[in-house]
Structures are given as structure tokens and as C-alpha cells.
């Protein structure tokens, strides 16, 4: 149980285009989903926290107009990188908390999406 999927697993796009990444909780309902970015040989950096039906909360330094997050249902959150540039190339990982799992604060992670902007 507690499986999170991401789609696509990798994407290559041209500079200036927009890319949408989906994050789904497959067997549980997620009240909160998180988006992380990981540059090569670095740790995961939290970009934003999204709660179903409300606006996402972005970390300091993350442009909310560039990284659009939508959490329209308890099983789906999307991250859209708008007007992507080569510096946005990174590994994007989402995670989710199980609404019914209690208070152990565990997050379940997706497999990640590798974005390469040419």
C-alpha cells in the first residue's frame, strides 16, 4: 500500500515551453502533497506544499508563477513548469501524506521525474 506515481518519468523540452508533471496517490487519499527538486549530487529541496482544494504554499525563493501547483483532488497534484529554461533542468519528486494513516508524519514518495530543458 501507500504507492505514489509520477508521470512522466522523464521529459525533454525546448526552452520556453511549459511542462506538466502529475503526481498521484494510487491507493490512499492524500490531504497534503509535497513537491521537491533535486539537483545532481544534492539533497531534496522542498519547493512547495499543497493541500487539496487550496492554494499551495511555496518555499522562500521558489517562484509561484513559474512553478504552478494544482491539487484538485485527494489523489492528484500537478506541477507545471512554465516557460522552462535550462536552469530548470532537475529531478522533481513528489510525495504525499495518507489522510487516514495517523500522526507519524510519514510521506510516501513518487519515483521522480527527470526534466531536461534544451
Q: Where does this chain bind another protein (CB under 8 A)?
A: 6, 34, 42-44, 46, 49, 91, 93, 95, 103-107, 109-112, 114
Nearer to another protein, 44 or 62 (CB): 44
Q: How many CB atoms lie within 10 A of CB 77?
A: 30
Nearer to another protein, 54 or 105 (CB): 105
Give least dist CB 85 to another protein, A.
22
Q: How many CB atoms lie within 10 A of CB 88?
A: 19
The CA-atom distances, in angstroms, between 29 and each of 3, 39, 89 are 11, 29, 30
Amino acid at each position: 500500500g501507500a504507492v505514489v506515481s509520477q508521470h512522466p518519468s522523464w521529459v525533454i523540452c525546448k526552452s520556453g515551453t511549459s511542462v506538466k508533471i502529475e503526481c498521484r496517490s494510487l491507493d490512499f487519499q492524500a490531504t497534503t502533497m509535497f513537491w521537491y527538486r533535486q539537483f545532481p549530487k544534492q539533497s531534496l529541496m522542498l519547493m512547495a506544499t499543497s493541500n487539496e482544494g487550496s492554494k499551495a504554499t511555496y518555499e522562500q525563493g521558489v517562484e509561484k508563477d513559474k512553478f504552478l501547483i494544482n491539487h484538485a483532488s485527494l489523489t492528484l497534484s500537478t506541477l507545471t513548469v512554465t516557460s522552462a529554461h535550462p536552469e530548470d533542468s532537475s529531478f522533481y519528486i513528489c510525495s504525499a501524506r495518507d489522510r487516514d494513516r495517523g500522526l507519524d508524519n510519514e510521506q510516501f514518495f513518487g519515483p521522480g521525474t527527470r526534466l531536461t530543458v534544451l
